Amino acid sequence: MTKASTIRIGAVVAEAARRINAPQSLQERLAAIMPAVLGTVPGFEHASLSVTYRTGAAQSRTASSGLVEKLDLYQHKINEGPCLEALREPGLVMVPSVREESRWPRYTVRAAEAGITAQMAVHLRDDAGLRGALNLYRTTGEGIDPEAADLATLFATHVALALGRAHAEEHLNAALDTRKVIGQALGILMERYKIDEVRAFGFLSRASQNSNFKLRDIAREIVAQAETRYGVEDS
């Protein structure tokens, strides 16, 4: 690789990372990943991203086309394929020729029938418990460009960091929302029954235990009922 090529590729990856790490929702970040990947890693026409958190089931979070989305889901269903392999183990999974691949016979038959000629999957992982796979699919010709593996690995690092941060932000926002709705429910109970905050929280806790609903869901229902009641009275 020439020095000029290295500089150009570095600039492309840096721009892709800037887009992915810009302030966005998780789904917006995911939507930005696929074209950035395909514009960076040579030789592949389609890409997708599969993730799992902690012990959760694998999910296909985004895909550049319906074709590879279906292939991702098929791998999850039959529990075999490059995507699943990369989800489980660190490193790269290389499939230079789908027709000659023997590791996942059920999947490769389906992939070849769908027009996939070569495939590569890169393991993703971060400290927040995310595990995933950046999946790349080829439909024209066979083989994997010698530069593709290094570029995909570099890109996968940016993807994992962006998704890990977005997932942490989602959890924080959910925690803040839960705290807010519980506070609103406590205020409603305190006003309605003329009780203090401790007794109001005990009310919520008992309702949660007796119903097997989460405390935040009980709180949301109390708030929703109050909003409905006030809306009727105001009309």
Q: What is the pLDDT of residue 86?
A: 93
Question: Which amino acid, one-letter code, is at 177?
Answer: D
- Report the candidate in 87, 77, 111 with the shortest Cα–Cα distance to residue 97: 111
Q: What is the pLDDT of residue 167?
A: 65
Q: What is the pLDDT of residue 42?
A: 92
pLDDT in tens, the chain (235 residues): 665 555 555 565 555 555 555 545 666 766 777 888 888 899 999 999 888 766 567 777 788 999 999 999 999 999 999 999 998 888 899 999 999 999 999 999 999 999 999 999 999 876 666 788 999 999 998 899 988 998 888 878 777 777 766 666 666 667 777 888 888 888 998 988 898 888 888 888 888 888 888 888 888 888 888 888 766 443 3
Sign of CA dihedral 86, 64, 5, 22: negative
Q: What is the pLDDT of residue 121?
A: 96
| Parallel, antiparallel or unpaired: strands 130-138 and 46-53 | antiparallel
Q: What is the pLDDT of residue 132?
A: 85
Q: What is the pLDDT of residue 127?
A: 61
List domains and CATH numbers for the chain: 3-164 (3.30.450.40), 172-234 (1.10.10.10)
Rounded Cα gap, residues 21 and 157, in angstroms:
12
Helix, strand or coil for residue 210?
Answer: helix
Please give the helix or strand (H or E) that residue 119 lies within, else none: strand 118-125
| Full DSSP string of 79-125 | T-SHHHHHHHSSSEEEES-TTT--SSHHHHHHHHHTT--EEEEEEEE
